[in-house]
Structure 1
Amino acid sequence: MKKIRLIARLDIKGPNLIKGIQLEGLRVMGEPQEFARRYYEQGADELLYVDVVASLYGRNSLHDIIERAARDVFVPLTVTGGIRSVDDVRNILRAGADKIGINTAATKRPELIREVARKFGSQCMVLSIEAKRVAPGRWEVYTDNGRERTGLDVVEWAQRGVELGAGEILLTSVDREGTREGFDVELVAAVSKTVPVPVIASGGMGCVDDVATVVREGAADAVAMADILHYGRSSMVEIRAAARAAGLQVRTP
């Protein structure tokens, strides 16, 4: 049985950790490093940093935040948002990141996926997909925090991304993000069954039981969570215990 990874997601705007609903109406939660340290100490398997305004300004501004995190958080760090080139990837990796997620730039120039995978390895290249449901059983890829349409079909784009060298898919349901209604299990299953790489389910976790549901019914390999942790509705310790009680294989921190 595969080990399921429990990932704390930190959406960053400028110096602040923020949280929204459907990636809108962003509320400042506090200083990212405090939250990162807390989740690391609670046993998070990985931390996922998302620069939510990077695409608007054409740059990723997480360099300093990642440098600080890498000094006292010793789990893999994934960084996404505003990464547009091999040089951008190199800079973020040098700051201390282990993996890079690319969304907007990849939709505009898919060849970037291959370039990053060849230079740094597929395990470093995460294809970040923001998905909105457009019809029963169909989702469209969006960019710029769920604001811009691309016309790309999510399942087809995930397959193409993997063919180009992506080693992992970060799949965020814009419809569910911040709603506490549970993951879009149908979306996760649609992507998971068509790609041979790990799929991280993100967006909508409402309670500890949602982890087992998206793993069992959606075949997710990892779960990214934010709201449930930031608002203290549950801790990483409680979520891991619930996953284990549901019969999932999770790491013992």
Structure 2
Amino acid sequence: MNRRLIARLDVKMEHLIKGIHLEGWRKVGDPKGRAKLYYEQGADELLYMDVVASLYGRNNLSGIVREVASEVFIPITVGGGIRSLEAVREMLSAGADKVAINTAATQDPDILRAISDTYGSQATVLSIEAKKLAAGGWEAMTDNGRNHSGRNAIEWAAEGQRLGAGELLVTSIDQDGTGRGMDVALISAVAREVDIPVIASGGVGSTRHVVDVLKNPDVSAIAIARDLHLDKYTLADFRTACHDAGIMTRRVKGEQGA
């Protein structure tokens, strides 16, 4: 099975941004132009997250998604501030293939079942922003990592699968934006508990970090942000590292081994 390399684009208003620990954002580019670049580099999917959606009560990415979807022909997932079936319909109509739900699901878990029943589990992604606890384990946070849900992140992942999520996006708040490596223990703990695809996010700072996580056969994908936005690496660099480590990814025409 090919593992997926996903370009993650966090957006504030019309700006592509990147922070550390899901805060302290700085502008790093254009979310439309970068999406097209990553598509040309062979991204398997795009992940758009509206980082201020919870503050304003709605996701504002439909315009960006509509424009990008007309030129980019890979799956697009959209998250941030999606709280209703109507909001899901709006995003899917704009060209998204999946929606990622976090805060709304912690407040009303049945929204996952409703989305799955209406649009299919393949369109339903549970986003978990996990923060390590001093006593051990991880808590699922909400509102782009600002608020506590009181939910154990690993247990919440399993419940999300039961409620109809077809995929999990697991972001380590502690590692996000640091470039110090991913929380391998967190990702592995989630992957052991579920049978649906797991996307790991937060902490990539080298090609080695991607390989370290994808060595686990239960991890389906990596979402990469900072190192792509800052042009430290291209998606080809990550694919090459995976191939050298015996990890299968999609072959891209023109690249060595393709």
Q: TM-score, normalised by structure 1?
A: 0.98
Q: Aligned equivalents of 1:136 and 1:229: distance in 2?
A: 34
Partner of 2:247: 248
Between 69-78 and 130-139, report the one with greater CA deviation.
130-139
Q: CA deviation at 1:109?
A: 0.2
Partner of 2:166: 167
Secondary structure of residue in 1 paired with 2:215: helix
Following superposition, which runs of at least 4 residues in structure 1 exceed 4 angstroms of deviation? none
- 8 Å CA contact 1:137–1:186 kept in 2: the answer is no
Say whether residues 1:60 and 2:59 are aligned partners: yes
Q: Aligned equivalents of 1:176 and 1:250: distance in 2?
A: 24
Q: Aligned equivalents of 2:167 and 2:130: distance in 1?
A: 16
- 8 Å CA contact 1:185–1:217 kept in 2: the answer is no
Q: Aligned equivalents of 2:165 and 2:99: distance in 1?
A: 10
Structure 1 unaligned blocks of 5 or more: none
Instruction: String of CA shifts for 1:144-198, please: whole Å, max 9, x gaps.
Output: 1111001000011001110000000000000000000111000000000000000
- 8 Å CA contact 1:186–1:218 kept in 2: the answer is no
Partner of 1:124: 123
Structure 2 unaligned blocks of 5 or more: 253-258
Partner of 2:156: 157
Instruction: String of CA shifts for 1:108-128, please: whole Å, max 9, x gaps.
Output: 000000000000000100000
Q: Aligned equivalents of 1:184 and 1:200: distance in 2?
A: 12
- 8 Å CA contact 2:59–2:82 kept in 1: the answer is yes
Q: CA deviation at 1:98?
A: 0.2
Q: Aligned equivalents of 1:226 and 1:218: distance in 2?
A: 22
- Name the aligned partner's letter for residue 155 of structure 1: I
Q: CA deviation at 1:136?
A: 5.7
Secondary structure of residue in 2 paired with 1:149: strand
Equivalent residue pairs, number:
252
Q: CA deviation at 1:135?
A: 3.5
Q: Aligned equivalents of 1:5 and 1:113: distance in 2?
A: 23
Secondary structure of residue in 2 paired with 1:193: helix
Q: Aligned equivalents of 2:134 and 2:158: distance in 1?
A: 20
- 8 Å CA contact 1:188–1:218 kept in 2: the answer is no
Between 197-206 and 23-32, report the one with greater CA deviation.
23-32
Percent of aligned pairs with the same amino acid? 52
Q: CA deviation at 1:205?
A: 0.3
CA RMSD of aligned residues (A): 1.0
Secondary structure of residue in 1 paired with 2:36: helix
Q: Aligned equivalents of 1:30 and 1:216: distance in 2?
A: 31
- Name the aligned partner's letter for residue 36 of structure 1: A
Q: CA deviation at 1:137?
A: 4.5
Partner of 2:11: 12
Secondary structure of residue in 1 paired with 2:212: helix
Q: CA deviation at 1:217?
A: 4.3
Say whether residues 1:207 and 2:219 are aligned partners: no
Q: CA deviation at 1:241?
A: 1.0
- Name the aligned partner's letter for residue 218 of structure 2: A
Q: Aligned equivalents of 2:134 and 2:125: distance in 1?
A: 26
Q: Aligned equivalents of 1:230 and 1:65: distance in 2?
A: 17
- 8 Å CA contact 2:29–2:229 kept in 1: the answer is no
- Name the aligned partner's letter for residue 90 of structure 2: N
Q: TM-score, normalised by structure 2?
A: 0.96
